[in-house]
Amino acid sequence: METTTALTADVLVLGFGKGGKTAAHALTDAGKRVILIEQSADMYGGTCPNVGCVPTKMLVHYSTSKRLEDEAQEFFANSIEGVRALTSAFRAGNFDALDGKDTATVITGTARFVDPHTVEVGRDADRITVTAPTILINTGSEPIVPDIPGLADSAHLVSSTDLTRTGTLPRRLVIIGGGYLGLEFASIYRHFGAEVTILEAADRLLVREDEDVAAVATGILEGDGISIITGARVTGVADTDGAAIISYEKDGRTRDIRTDAFLAATGRRPATAGLGLEAAGVRTTARGAIVVDDRLRTTQPHIFALGDVNGGPQFTYVSLDDARIVIDQLAGSGERSTADRAAVPATLFITPPLATVGMTEREARERGLNIRVARENVADIVAMPRAYTVEETRGVMKFILDADTDLILGAAILSIDAQEIINTIALAMRQGVAATTLKNAIYTHPSSTEALNEVLGVIVG
């Protein structure tokens, strides 16, 4: 016999990601009755603490801690166990912190809209419906599996999730795509001891960055022993004799590469399939992203979309800022919007990391701006002894400065601690702090930030 449980809430949240859980906590604390639905018990807390930022950056740490005497497979398996322990603790903590509140409930299951205010979870027996006057969609994104013959059916295809959870280190790993995800896993697995090859369709890595910065990053990766093949278009995958043969075209010729495992790091798309958005009257783009305004309202004013699902930058901290906007709409002054964002940084966690913010030199020159360029290789920065104390002197720091106002237009920091330095630079850009002020500031010693004392005075163009 079919039974249906009908629940109501003030706010319904679909997805346990950073934006959804942050908004759920804040709205619960503001006196709202909140129900959050997450389709997988493995994803309480969202992508970042379970299969994204936290496990990958933990693997960066483990992989660069490997000693010559460590046996590769054993060291890797122990590292994966460490990741599992931490992510399990985070997952349980995220669930308990929200579900433990008196006016919050977490439901595990797949939700589908049945009308603009109602979703259903499950079918037939034990079907649950949840109705709410306000709904937040925070279902994130999912990997794009390219339409390449034999790829999706290969037994040797691994996902980024597999690479953070599987305790067996492949001897050979091929990564299709040289974006952030591909380069991070290439760096991680190479440091663990795998033979890593990157197949990139473009004629160079990091095409959005200036060529000089990209060249330094490429040199570091190749120096670590990663094989990088650019201008490579993958045409097919075939399994044979316990391995996969990946075929690709380069310079008009077809070549093959044999591998134990391969990752298709060809991008992610908003996870909206199966949500039944048409029943809710919520419009999406051709890519499946939910259309929102600058307050993150969808085509239904009572439904908001936060994080990757709305087609914005796929960063956890952007999802967090999405939550701030929605919280302000529902329990604040309603003044915050995406238009408030400026100088949003990004970090690629290769070793050492590459962090960027604002314009590149190429973009500034294409706009006809009057600029100065400050640049120095990390190995040459006298005012940065920290690079030598941690034995990581590879990299470069580059700044694009407005020659008329002395303001920073953009920066690329490829160095130890780049993920921290960039936040200081981004804050300075948002607050209109002049480059000379940063150059003459007092920083702790020895630190990486004190490199600004020197680099901002090294004008090369």
First to last CA, the chain: 76
Cβ-proximal residues to 37 (8 Å cutoff; 6+ apart), any chain? 12, 13, 14, 15, 106, 107, 108, 109, 111, 119, 121, 130
Helix or strand or coil: residue 422? helix
Quote the CA–CA distance of 115 and 142 in Å, as a whole number: 25
Nearest in space to 328 (alpha carbons), one of 8, 22, 104 = 22
Task: Identify how many contiguous H helices and E strands the chain contains and give both numbers.
Answer: 14, 24
Active site residue 445: yes
**Which tokens is 7 given?**
């629940």
Cβ-proximal residues to 258 (8 Å cutoff; 6+ apart), any chain? 172, 243, 244, 245, 246
Other beta carbons within 10 Å of 212? 14
The residue annotated as part of the active site, out of 25, 61, 156, 445, is: 445
Quote the CA–CA distance of 13 and 21 in Å, as a whole number: 8
Quote the CA–CA distance of 382 and 387 in Å, as a whole number: 10
Residue owning tokens 């490429």: 218
Cβ-proximal residues to 339 (8 Å cutoff; 6+ apart), any chain? 294
Nearest in space to 56 (alpha carbons), one of 79, 90, 88, 22 = 79
Nearest in space to 249 (alpha carbons), one of 175, 206, 199, 204 = 199
Can you list the pairs that 57-60 forms with residues at least 24 positions away whose Cβ atoms lie under 8 Å?
57/349, 58/82, 58/83, 58/86, 59/83, 59/164, 59/188, 59/192, 60/184, 60/187, 60/188, 60/349, 60/351
R_g of the chain computed on alpha carbons: 24
Strands 34-38 and 104-108, bridge-based pairing: parallel
Residue type, 295: R
Nearest in space to 370 (alpha carbons), one of 410, 329, 326, 400 = 400
Helix or strand or coil: residue 117? coil
Q: Do 127 and 36 meet the contact criterion of CB atoms below 8 Å apart?
A: no
Instruction: Show which residues are catalytic.
Output: 445
